[in-house]
Structure 1
Amino acid sequence: MIEVADGVYAIRHEELDLTTGLVVGDEQCLVIDTPGDHVQGAALADKIMTVTDKPWQVVYTHNHFDHWYGTGPFMPCEVWANENFRFDPEERMTWVQRYLDDGKPGLATAMEESELVTPTRTFTAEAEIDLGGRKVVLRHFGPAHSFCDTVIEVPDTRSVFAGDLVEHPHYIEDSFGDGDVTRWPAALEALLALDPVVVVPGHGDPVDAEFVAGQREVLIAGWPSAR
């Protein structure tokens, strides 16, 4: 667990090099994404309880399995996502088979057994969550990596959780997702306009604004029409 700012944490996971997050306020905390199955989700919940015993809410950065299938152990709680969030049942079947083919039956079984928790609260373009003494802002900048990308801003620390809009190192070149890659650079431009000091990606270690700007250029180079 990496404390990127006061009460703001990036939590690293071995599987898929995933990065989840935690923001702690005076009264509540916000969990940003959960891993890809209930076993990993329970481990994350246990880790968070070593940091805080405050009640939590959960927010999904997008609808790809590795960012929300592990929410079951956190229930009951409010679960936030962009209004375009949708469950794709084929994704679960695809990844169960992939884990079996890769000789990882434990991960396949855990995924099959996981209770999938869809959002209880949705928003269109922007929403605020009051954690008590700390405000967190959820923002949707349009389709990019997915059609429901959510950026989580913690204004008092100038830290931002980007989900898979940003990945470190440049996995982004191989993970165009199912959104609209031509609008991805614009989403990163909007993220940069928040003037973040630290950006927590969906995979990999935390980065700075300069890294995000470089990733935007990678996308533009691959899709010149996105400039």
Structure 2
Amino acid sequence: MAEAWWVEVGDGIWVRRHTELDLSLGLIIGERSCLVIDTGGDESQGSAFATAIRELTDLPWTVALTHAHFDHSFGTAAFDAATVWAHPACRHELQSTAEHQRQEWATYYQNKDNQEISEQIRRARIVLPVPAPPDTDLGNRIVRFIHPGPAHTNHDLAIHIPDAHVVFAGDLLEQGAPPAFGDAFPASWPQALNNILAVNPATLVPGHGNPVTPAFARAQQAELAQVAHLCRLFREGTITAEEAIERSPYPAEFTSEALDRG
């Protein structure tokens, strides 16, 4: 069974780390309620996350999804009838891609001889979110929702806790692996990350990997800017794909995806 454990990044602010996919989910606790950030890749993982949360707090919860990819959103049904917030475009993205994602990732795990996860993904019920408000008050704790612009997807949502100087960045940031460009917008991703850094966080939580410092985020922003520049040169015909891959800070597989996205 995949392991999971808590990391506290601020007073009442927790990251649930998972060995599977190096996934990071989140929890923000106020005096009246709590906010759950992403729900995992299937209802079993979501249920285990919900149980772990109830060991920390029994306050009513609301869910916020950073984006529509299966590993962040397919566990939402485990959170009963909770209100689910996301970027306005996230709902349509789930409606239009959930079944494709289900087939793709169920097959992926089946090919890895992990029939249990494959079946859980096939059975996951999809919960559609509603647009997040600009902010919410959890009780003596304001949480702000940031739409940083197209980046990892066209509907990324970051969650800022001003009193603790913490930002949950979703997959706009990756720690332990390069950023994923499959649905990305390479040209605008560097500015989106700048928009998150503009709130001056002390700690940023990536969608995968350990919490990071602003210095780490700035270094990744510089790498993303380099990839965006290579994509532009490739589009213009100034360099070949092979030359772009050679000059990229990321492995060929990731750079090729970025070039395909432009």
The partner residue of 2:144 within 132, 137, 144 is: 137
Q: Are 2:104 and 1:90 equivalent residues in the alignment?
A: no
Give distance in 2, aligned partners of 1:21 and 1:131.
15
How many residues are aligned here? 222
Moved over 3 A (4+): none
Please name the residue that 1:50 is paired with.
55
The partner residue of 2:202 within 177, 197, 206 is: 197
Give distance in 2, aligned partners of 1:202 and 1:128.
21
Q: Are 2:54 and 1:39 equivalent residues in the alignment?
A: no
Unpaired runs of 5+ residues, structure 2, are 1-5, 233-262
Cα drift, residue 225 of structure 1: 6.7
TM-score w.r.t. the length of structure 1 is 0.95
Cα drift, residue 221 of structure 1: 1.6
Pairwise mapping of residues 111-130 of structure 1 onto structure 2 (< 5 A)?
A: 111-119=121-129, 121-123=130-132, 127-130=134-137
- Letter matched to residue 146 of structure 1: T
Cα drift, residue 38 of structure 1: 0.5
Give distance in 2, aligned partners of 1:80 and 1:186.
24
Give distance in 2, aligned partners of 1:51 and 1:43.
13
The partner residue of 1:100 within 90, 110, 135 is: 110
Cα drift, residue 191 of structure 1: 0.7
Give distance in 1, aligned partners of 2:230 and 2:33.
43
Please name the residue that 2:175 is paired with.
168
Give SS of 2:181's match.
Answer: coil
Give SS of 1:110's match.
Answer: helix
Give distance in 2, aligned partners of 1:226 and 1:81.
29
Give SS of 2:150's match.
Answer: coil
Please name the residue that 2:8 is paired with.
3
Larger radius of gyration: 2
Give distance in 2, aligned partners of 1:176 and 1:69.
20
Please name the residue that 2:154 is paired with.
147
- The structure showing larger relative contact order (alpha-carbon pairs under 8 Å, at least 6 residues apart) is 1
Pairwise mapping of residues 20-39 of structure 1 onto structure 2 (< 5 A)?
A: 20-39=25-44
Pairwise mapping of residues 61-100 of structure 1 onto structure 2 (< 5 A)?
A: 61-85=66-90, 86-87=93-94, 88=97, 89-100=99-110
Cα drift, residue 13 of structure 1: 1.1
Is the 2:87–2:147 contact (alpha carbons within 8 Å) kept by the matching residues of 1? yes
- Letter matched to residue 157 of structure 1: A
Unpaired runs of 5+ residues, structure 1, are none
Is the 1:170–1:215 contact (alpha carbons within 8 Å) kept by the matching residues of 2? no
Structure ranking higher in helix proportion: 2
